[in-house]
Amino acid sequence: MSARNILGLKLDELSLEEAAAKVLRHCQTPAAPLLHIITLNPEMVVAAQRDAHFAAIVNRAGLVVADGVGVVWAAHKLGHPAVTKVPGIELVEQILALAMQDAERPLRVYLLGARPDVVGEAHRRIRLRYPGVVFCGARHGYFAAAESEQIIAEINAAEPDLLLVGLGSPRQEYWIAAHAERLKCRAAIGVGGVFDVWAGRVNRAPLWLRRLGLEWLYRLIQQPARLPRMLALPQFVMLIYRRSRRLRGEEDV
């Protein structure tokens, strides 16, 4: 595994299968320190340009992968053609599928985030999809900062190997990083809206649209409230073009 630099942020060159295998191996390693996994998207890259603390969290993470076609395009534009797309939902599902093959030590997973009804339904459905995995607990994401210690105690009591945190970015990355030393799980990943998909509240784009790199457009049509977040995309493209020109020794226009 080698890390590449995307506007000052690390990005690991791993395929979906390689990343999933790495996370599962870590989860199966006794006394392993917490592995923070970040699935990097253009909004996060733009946010990190103006938030040094968030950039530091990304760069301290144990694994950072390209969540979507935008970051893959940027990596290729900046001279890193080996970077491939590793969508967060597919990474998690690949980890769960791999874990199903190991009957000797079932993977233990805890879900944190989303509304109470959403995470409850996601928890119910995902247990049926992956019967060889132990889903040892679920808790909604509507809590105050003062409640974090109680939530950490609940998570630790459930003894998960893998913690899935769906609080939205960058809140989920901040929360994991802030409490990494007290969480006793072996790996934690911010999963954004994955619980909404698992609960059937939101549909993923058809495969043909995903292959065209248009899943973001499908999500925007389903969730128009995401439009303000899309304003980061033109900024992202401009930042990448400027960095690309500098790498080629050209002056900015």
Residue 250 has pLDDT above 90, yes or no: no
Query: Residue 46's Cα: distance from chain center in Å?
Result: 16
Q: Which residues pair with 164 in a beta bridge?
A: 111, 189
Predicted local confidence at residue 159, as pLDDT: 97
Question: Environment class of residue 161 by beta-carbon count within 10 Å: exposed (0-12), middle (13-18) or buried (19+)?
Answer: buried
Predicted local confidence at residue 54, as pLDDT: 98
Which single residue is written with the structure tokens 């590449």?
4
Task: Write out the E strands in the chain.
Answer: 3-6, 9-12, 35-40, 63-66, 108-113, 134-139, 162-166, 187-190
Query: Residue 243's Cα: distance from chain center in Å?
Result: 25
Which single residue is written with the structure tokens 């105050």?
144
The CA-atom distances, in angstroms, between 53 and each of 39, 149, 240 are 17, 22, 21
CB 214, CB 205: distance < 8 Å: yes
CB 188, CB 48: distance < 8 Å: no
Query: Residue 196's Cα: distance from chain center in Å?
Result: 14
Supply 25's token pair. Answer: 């191996």
Residue 228 has pLDDT above 70, yes or no: no
CB 190, CB 162: distance < 8 Å: no
Predicted local confidence at residue 221, as pLDDT: 67
CB 196, CB 202: distance < 8 Å: yes
**Model confidence at 137, in pLDDT bands (50, 70, 90)?**
very high
Of 56-65, 185-194, 201-210, which range is least confident? 201-210
Q: pLDDT tens for residues 92-118?
A: 999 999 999 876 789 999 999 999 999
Supply 137's token pair. Answer: 């607990």
Tell me how far apart the 2 most distant CA atoms of the chain are, in Å: 60
Break the chain into its structural domains and give their ranges.
3-247
**Model confidence at 253, in pLDDT bands (50, 70, 90)?**
very low
Residue 225 has pLDDT above 90, yes or no: no
Q: pLDDT tens for residues 24-70?
A: 999 999 888 999 999 999 999 999 999 999 999 999 999 999 998 99
Cis peptide before 170 (omega within 30 of 0): yes
